[in-house]
């Protein structure tokens, strides 16, 4: 990516990550395959303008003020009633609204930026997209020498408000936007039942651990994580390249989405066409049936997720 807004960080092992201030986006992630060939495993575009024109709005972006769906765009807390714009088929509020954090120009934080770390800040005004309270948000990405990309988000407010942040990167471990069918996905959690509008029903379907998720058809699944000590919450691997990602998070749920609304209208890096099931979004977040995450003045919202990259050297050529 040649865009002048791009910020690049790297570690001593050659792993490289790139970011844009637009949406505090994680746009590129170069990791080696079993033969030592580095390739970019994130779906996206070679030019910043393409992110604004794309049909899929969330490639690599920080999603907020509230990721996921808020049913009917309404929330009542005591005497307080919040009404949010219905940007999901005119029925529900999705990912913070039409002009959510994914479209904001975040400010780089100079004191939080180094060879292996980049920081962004955003001030969201009271009333923006219908949310109460002035909200100050910080996101820090750190690429460690242990081949981990650490995503850390914090937020504070001057009024009681709703906050739920995540990153919406789409992964494909082959390094190209091709079908995910060759990947293997394991989640250490129980499935949250959904209705036809992708809202939780309250039913929790217990699964053996870890559970292998088939990567095909329509995937918009949420899992309540078990957080087993010493084990990842989620593992995505691609035997052909040997690449893998282990995900560890402090969030309650991971939402998975394989881009099944993608129709091929977005043409990304390497002129790859983005169809359904060519990238997997892994979105750790707060998701409890009929309960939203409130943050009060004096409190700090926190989210920490670790993406640990690995290579299976078996069958190395």
DSSP, residue by residue, 206-253: ---SSEEEP--S--EEEEEE---TTS-SEEEEETTTTEEEEEEESSSE
Q: Which of 93, 95, 168, 183 is catalytic?
A: 168
Domain-located, residue 22: yes
Q: Which of 28, 56, 152, 283 is catalytic?
A: 283
Q: pLDDT tier at 217 (50, 70, 90 boundaries)?
A: confident
Closest CA to 275 of 172, 122, 173, 124: 172
The CA–CA distances, whole Å, from 313 to 32, 39, 166, 234 equal: 11, 16, 31, 20
Average pLDDT of the residues in 169-173: 99
Range of the domain at 126: 7-311
Average of per-residue pLDDT values in the chain: 95
Q: Is the dihedral of CA 106, 107, 111, 116 positive or negative?
A: positive
What is the tally of structural domains in the chain? 1
Q: Are the C-beta atoms of 137 and 122 separated by less than 8 Å? A: yes
Closest CA to 286 of 122, 59, 65: 65
* pLDDT at residue 5, as a whole number: 85
pLDDT > 70? residue 14:
yes
What is the rounded end-to-end Cα distance, in angstroms, of the chain? 30
18-40 pLDDT tens trace: 999 999 999 999 999 999 999 99
Whether 283 is catalytic is yes
Domain-located, residue 167: yes
84-139 pLDDT tens trace: 999 999 999 999 999 999 999 999 999 888 999 999 999 999 999 999 999 999 99
**pTM for this prediction:** 0.95
Domain-located, residue 114: yes
Domain-located, residue 305: yes
pLDDT > 90? residue 43:
yes
The CA–CA distances, whole Å, from 152 to 24, 114, 241 equal: 12, 16, 28
65 preceded by a cis bond (ω within 30 of 0): yes
What's the token pair of residue 243?
A: 């690449």
Residue 48 belongs to domain with CATH number: 2.70.98.10
Domain-located, residue 151: yes
Domain-located, residue 285: yes
Domain-located, residue 120: yes
The percent of residues above 70 in pLDDT, for the chain, comes to 98
Whether 152 is catalytic is no
pLDDT > 90? residue 1:
no
Burial class (CB in 10 A: 0-12, 13-18, 19+), 96: buried
DSSP single-letter state for residue 205:
E
What's the token pair of residue 37?
A: 């060939």
Domain-located, residue 316: no
* pLDDT at residue 285, as a whole number: 98
């Amino acid at each position: 990516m040649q865009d002048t807004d791009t910020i690049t960080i790297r570690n001593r092992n050659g792993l490289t990550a790139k970011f844009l201030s637009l949406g505090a986006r994680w746009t590129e992630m170069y990791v080696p395959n079993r033969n030592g060939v580095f390739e970019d495993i994130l779906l996206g575009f070679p030019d910043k303008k393409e992110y604004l024109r794309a049909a899929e709005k969330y490639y690599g972006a920080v999603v907020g003020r509230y990721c996921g769906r808020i049913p009917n765009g309404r929330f009542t807390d005591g005497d307080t009633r919040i009404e949010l714009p219905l940007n999901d088929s005119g029925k529900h509020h999705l990912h913070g609204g039409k002009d959510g954090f994914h479209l904001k120009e975040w400010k780089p934080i100079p004191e939080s930026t180094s060879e292996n770390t980049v920081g962004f800040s955003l001030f969201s005004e009271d009333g923006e997209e219908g949310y109460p309270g002035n909200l100050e948000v910080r996101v820090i990405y750190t690429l460690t020498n242990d081949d981990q990309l650490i995503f850390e988000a914090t937020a504070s407010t001057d009024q009681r408000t709703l906050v739920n942040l995540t990153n919406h990167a789409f992964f494909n471990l082959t390094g190209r936007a091709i079908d995910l069918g060759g990947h293997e996905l394991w989640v250490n959690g129980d499935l949250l039942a959904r209705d036809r509008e992708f809202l939780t029903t309250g039913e929790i379907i217990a699964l053996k651990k870890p559970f292998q998720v088939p990567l095909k058809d329509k995937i918009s699944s949420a899992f309540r994580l078990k957080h087993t000590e010493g084990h990842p919450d989620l593992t995505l691997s691609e035997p052909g390249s040997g690449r893998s990602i282990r995900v560890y998070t402090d969030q309650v749920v991971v939402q998975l989405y394989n881009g099944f609304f993608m129709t091929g209208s977005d043409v990304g890096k390497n002129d790859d066409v983005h169809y359904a099931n060519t990238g997997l979004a892994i979105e750790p977040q707060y998701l409890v049936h009929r309960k939203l995450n409130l943050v009060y003045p004096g409190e700090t919202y926190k989210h920490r997720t670790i993406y640990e990259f690995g290579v299976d050297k078996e069958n190395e050529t």
